[in-house]
Structure 1
Amino acid sequence: MDSVHGFALNGETWQGEDVFRPRGKQGSILISERFAEFVKQHGFTNMKLIPTEEYVWDPLRKGPPA
């Protein structure tokens, strides 16, 4: 895989956890919208929350797929 420009979860394999490590995205931790709201309400810092549809990993700078 050359790059990732957004992704979605498979509802059939996700079991509703609020914090989890997704298969195929080693080193990443995903959180639910519910947990993101909890983070916001309690003023947690030292983390960057990126919506999955806005996530970009493009080490070769090839840009989004055609």
Structure 2
Amino acid sequence: MMRQKLTGCNPSIYSSLLSSLSQLYYLQRFEPFFFTLEYPKTRKALGYGIGEFKAIYKAYVKQRGAK
């Protein structure tokens, strides 16, 4: 699901998205307070709607093997 949405993206945007998702994943696991602060900022900076970004992040977390 996630790959289909991102196919054809500019490689630098795709790299930025993966970097941001990785950072959020780390914060969610180890720094929950900062995750709460960074999640909306990251979503807005990348230009995704909240529903779309939630789906992308959920797919990323699932791919990483977390709950």
TM over 0.5: no
- Write 1 or 2 for the structure with the bigger share of helix: 2
Please identify the structure whose Cα radius of gyration is greater.
1
Q: Shorter-normalised TM-score: what interval?
A: under 0.3
TM-score for both structures, normalised by structure 2: 0.24
| TM-score between both structures, scaled by the size of structure 1 | 0.24
